[in-house]
Copies of this chain bind each other. A is one copy, B any other.
Amino acid sequence: MDERFNFRPARAADVAAVVSLLHDDELGRHRERPGDPAYDTAFAEIASDPNQLLVVAELDGEIVGTLQLSFIAGLSHVGTKRAQLEAVRVGSEYRGLGIGGRMCEWAISVARERGAGQVQLTSDSGRTAAHRFYERLGFSATHVGMKLSLD
């Protein structure tokens, strides 16, 4: 499927399609509100930050997946730059085709090119299939991911 497949930075016109992917998810369907203008505001902020890369995966020109890659400079580990994966999603009708793996492998190669020494992510404790997926990509579940909502 190589020639049918493409990764590229998301554009403002892709926001609705990306939000649709975030909503098309067992957890996302309860916490996303497609059509809310807050998504466009957030997109503008992502697009203006050179350390944020919001990506869409296209199959035959249709958006079928998304992820965000954030670059975080830091002093620890002898000044290692981290690349962080967030919001990795593949449309429900396109799962099981290897799109998520291809998308993450591409993101890891971008992280390496941009000088990151580590890629990190957190995954909800209930997403056990996702944990196995990331372990197959080489990730180790060495940390606890903790969240505090400010709402």
- Residues of A at the B interface (CB closer than 8 Å) are 15, 18-19, 22, 28, 31-33, 36, 38-39, 41-43, 45-46, 49, 51-52, 54, 68, 70, 72-82, 84, 86-87, 108, 111-112, 116-125, 131, 134-135, 137-151
User: Judging by beta carbons under 8 Å apart, are B150 and A146 in contact?
Assistant: no
* Chain B: minimal CB distance from A60 (Å): 24
User: Judging by beta carbons under 8 Å apart, are B149 and A117 in contact?
Assistant: yes
> If A72-B52, A125-B142, A144-B131 touch, does A118 touch B149 (CB 8 Å cutoff)?
yes
Q: Which of A22, A77, A135, A137 has the most CB of B within 10 A?
A: A77
Q: Which of A18, A41, A150 has the most CB of B within 10 A?
A: A150
User: Judging by beta carbons under 8 Å apart, are B51 and A73 in contact?
Assistant: no
A interface, over-half SS: mixed
* Chain B: minimal CB distance from A42 (Å): 3
Contacts of A137 in B (CB 8 A): 148
Contacts of A80 in B (CB 8 A): 42
User: Judging by beta carbons under 8 Å apart, are B74 and A86 in contact?
Assistant: yes
6 closest A-B pairs (Cβ-Cβ)?
A: A143-B145, A42-B79, A45-B73, A38-B79, A139-B146, A122-B143
